[in-house]
Structures are given as C-alpha cells and as structure tokens.
Amino acid sequence: MEEHRHTETLRITRSSFEELFERYWKRMFAFALKMTADDDDAKEIVQEIFKSLWERREELSIQDVERYLLRSVKLKTMEYIRNKSTKQRHHEIILNTTKIDYEDQHVQVKELNTKVHNLVESLPKQCKNVFRMSREEGLTNKEIARLLLISERAVEYHISKALSTLRIGLGRVD
C-alpha cells in the first residue's frame, strides 16, 4: 500500500482496511498502552477505532491516514481515561453511600427489633405466648390452640391484640 498523504483521499476497501490494520495497529496499541498502562484497555481502544473505521468506511474519505489514526487513538485514549476516572469516582460515591446507608439501616433495624421485643414483653402472659408461638415458632392457630388447650378463636383474639399493641407502640394506627 503506498503512502496515503495529503495528495490523495483514501477510500476504505477490505484489502486497504487490512493493510491499514497491519501497518498501524502496533503503533496505536503502543500509544494507548503508554497512556493507560493496561494491555486489555489499550487493545480495546485500538479495536474500537478500527471497528468505527470499518463501520463508517462508506462515508469516510481520509486525506492523511497515519495522522487520522494516531489522532484517533490519542482522542479515544483521553476519552477512556476521562471516563474511567469518572466511573471510579461514581463507584467510590456509591460504595461510601451504600456503606453509610447500610450502617444507618443496621442501627434502625436494631432499634426497631429492641422496640418490638419490649412491646412483646409488655403483653399479658397468654397473649405473649400465643404471639411468640405464631410469629417466632411459625405454628398455626390450630396447633397453638391444641398446645395451650384454648379455642382457635381465643388464639385469633390474642394475636389480634398483640398486633394492635405493636401497631400502636410503633406509631401506626390503621
């Protein structure tokens, strides 16, 4: 492939594309690698440039191929570095925010659990037993009634009373 400089315009065909790739990819890769210090990132940058070149081959007419490709790798590398630093800042913000939110939520959950525990402890003995068997042990109303020798209706009453006490104690009245 003869040098394509300012004097003639290059139209990209499959064979000229392959020649361009063979001639310039190493220099482009070396430049991107020097700027990014990462093999995979440098390869991806060069690959994106050649992909874009191929996809736009119909509309492109390049005067100075070498200048065009080296300028493309420079601009693409700078864009990559800018995006990477922005992405890292966003990740740090998200991680820090998530950590703070998690810690806040953890404290809130502990406080809520303590409040629920205290409210359950304040219930009358039979009501407390029925509620714990239902909610903590996962027993059905029928099983609780059989174990405590009370009616299912009495079990429903105690659970309803316990839930009402919890709603009021937690500040929610339906």
User: CATH says 122-169 is which class?
Assistant: mainly alpha
Amino acid of residue 71: R
Sign of CA dihedral 153, 159, 165, 168: negative
Cα(73)–Cα(30) distance, integer angstroms: 10
What pLDDT digit, counting tens, does each position of 8-19 carry? 566 778 888 888
What does the block give as tokens for 27?
């220099």
Residue with tokens 């525990």: 117
**Does residue 76 register a pLDDT over 80?**
yes
Cα(13)–Cα(17) distance, integer angstroms: 6
Q: What is the distance of C-alpha 171 from the center of its chain?
A: 35
pLDDT band at 6 (very low <50, low <70, confident <90, very high): very low
Beta carbons of 45 and 77 less than 8 angstroms apart: yes
Which range has the worst mean pLDDT, 4-13, 17-26, 27-36?
Answer: 4-13
**Does residue 42 register a pLDDT over 90?**
yes
Report the CATH number of the 14-93 domain: 1.10.1740.10
Q: Domain boundaries in the chain?
A: 14-93, 122-169
The DSSP bridge partners found for residue 10 are: 62
Beta carbons of 89 and 30 less than 8 angstroms apart: no
Cα(114)–Cα(107) distance, integer angstroms: 11
Cα(73)–Cα(79) distance, integer angstroms: 10
Query: Rounded mean pLDDT of 85-96?
Result: 76
Sign of CA dihedral 21, 25, 28, 32: positive
**Does residue 90 register a pLDDT over 80?**
no
Q: 3-state class of 13 per DSSP?
A: coil
Q: What is the pTM assigned to this prediction?
A: 0.46
